[in-house]
Structure 1
Amino acid sequence: MATPKFRVAICGGGIGGLTLAVGLSRYPDIHIDVYEAAGQFKEIGAGVMVWERTWKILELLGLGKEFGDIAHAQPNRSLGVGFDYRKSDQPQEGFRFYLYQVPYGCIRFHRAQFLDVLVDHLPSDVAHFGKRLTSYDTSATSTRPEILLHFADGSNATCDLLIGCDGIKSVIRKQMLEDHVHKSGGDPTLLKHIEPIWSGRIAYRGLIPTNRLKTDNKEHRTIQTPMMYCGKSKHVVSYGISRGSIVNVVAMATQPHLYGTTYDGPWVKECGRDELLECFAGWEPEVEEMLQCIEKPTKWAICELRPLPFYVQGRVALLGDAAHGMTPHQGAGAGQAIEDAYILAEVLGHPSTTLSTLPQALAAYEAVRLPMANHVLRGSRESGNMYEFNGPLGDDLARLGPQIGKQWDWVWKTTPLEEREKALRLSMQRRASTAKL
Structure 2
Amino acid sequence: MPAPITPPPKLRMAVVGGGIGGLCLALALSKHSDIQVDVYEAAEQLKEIGAGVIFWERTWEVFRSMGLSDDLTEVSGAPIDPKPSVGFDYFRSDSPNAGHQFAQFKPPCKLLGLTKRLLHAEIILQDGCIRFHRAHFLDVLIKHLPEGIAHLKKRLLSYEDTDHGITLNFADGTTASADLLVGCDGIKSVVRKQMYEAEAAKGDPKLLQFIDPVWSGTMIYRALAPAERLFEACNGRRHRIMDDAAVYCGKNKHIVSYAVGKGATTVNIVAFATNPEDEGKTYDGPWVTGCSADEVRNHFVDQPLVWALHCLKPLPFYTKGQVTLLGDAAHAMLPHQGVGAVQAIEDAYLLAGLLGDAAVTKDTLQHALHAYEATRLPFANARMAGSRMNGLMYEFNSEHGDNYETLAPAITSQWNWQWENTAEDEVQKALLLMRGRIKTMPVASRGSNQ
1:181-218 C-alpha deviation (Å, 9 max, x unpaired): 21x43x22111000000110011001011111114442
Contact 2:246 2:258 in 1 (8 A): yes
The answer to whether 1:214 aligns with 2:260 is: no
Contact 2:16 2:182 in 1 (8 A): yes
The answer to whether 1:383 aligns with 2:390 is: yes
Equivalent residue letter for 2:194: Q
The answer to whether 1:34 aligns with 2:42 is: no
C-alpha separation between the residues in 2 aligned to 1:435 and 1:168? Answer: 39
C-alpha separation between the residues in 2 aligned to 1:217 and 1:342? Answer: 43
Return the offset for 1:433.
2.5
TM-score (norm 2): 0.91
C-alpha separation between the residues in 2 aligned to 1:66 and 1:262? Answer: 42
Contact 1:75 1:104 in 2 (8 A): no
C-alpha separation between the residues in 1 aligned to 2:13 and 2:399? Answer: 45
Paired residue for 2:112?
none
1:249-398 equivalences in 2 (<5 Å): 249-277=269-297, 292-398=299-405
Match of 1:8 among 1, 7, 13: 13
- Which blocks of at least 5 consecutive residues in structure 1 are unaligned? 278-290
C-alpha separation between the residues in 2 aligned to 1:66 and 1:407? Answer: 30
Return the offset for 1:273.
2.1
Equivalent residue letter for 1:259: E
The answer to whether 1:403 aligns with 2:426 is: no
Equivalent residue letter for 1:24: L
C-alpha separation between the residues in 2 aligned to 1:237 and 1:292? Answer: 19
Paired residue for 2:169?
150
C-alpha separation between the residues in 2 aligned to 1:380 and 1:272? Answer: 29
1:230-249 equivalences in 2 (<5 Å): 230-242=249-261, 243-249=263-269
TM-score (norm 1): 0.93
Q: Secondary structure at the match of 1:249?
A: strand
Q: Secondary structure at the match of 2:207?
A: helix
Q: Please say which of residues 423-432 and 316-325 is displaced more in the overlay.
A: 423-432
Equivalent residue letter for 2:284: D
Q: Secondary structure at the match of 1:214?
A: helix
Contact 2:78 2:243 in 1 (8 A): no
The answer to whether 1:226 aligns with 2:245 is: yes
**How big is the alpha-carbon RMSD for the aligned residues of Structure 1 and Structure 2?**
1.4
Identity of aligned residues (%): 51
Paired residue for 2:196?
177
Aligned length: 418
C-alpha separation between the residues in 2 aligned to 1:383 and 1:345? Answer: 30
Equivalent residue letter for 1:434: M
Paired residue for 1:280?
none
Paired residue for 1:286?
none
Paired residue for 1:284?
none
1:132-143 equivalences in 2 (<5 Å): 132-140=155-163
C-alpha separation between the residues in 2 aligned to 1:313 and 1:76? Answer: 43
C-alpha separation between the residues in 1 aligned to 2:183 and 2:371? Answer: 17
1:304-359 C-alpha deviation (Å, 9 max, x unpaired): 10000111111100000000000111010000000000000000011111111100
Contact 2:319 2:369 in 1 (8 A): yes
Paired residue for 1:430?
437
Return the offset for 1:226.
0.7
Return the offset for 1:399.
1.5
Return the offset for 1:221.
2.0
Moved over 6 A (4+): none
Equivalent residue letter for 1:257: E
C-alpha separation between the residues in 2 aligned to 1:400 and 1:411? Answer: 20
Equivalent residue letter for 2:257: S
Contact 2:165 2:322 in 1 (8 A): no
C-alpha separation between the residues in 1 aligned to 2:190 and 2:356? Answer: 26
Q: Secondary structure at the match of 1:138?
A: strand
Contact 1:307 1:377 in 2 (8 A): yes
Paired residue for 1:195?
212
Return the offset for 1:292.
4.3
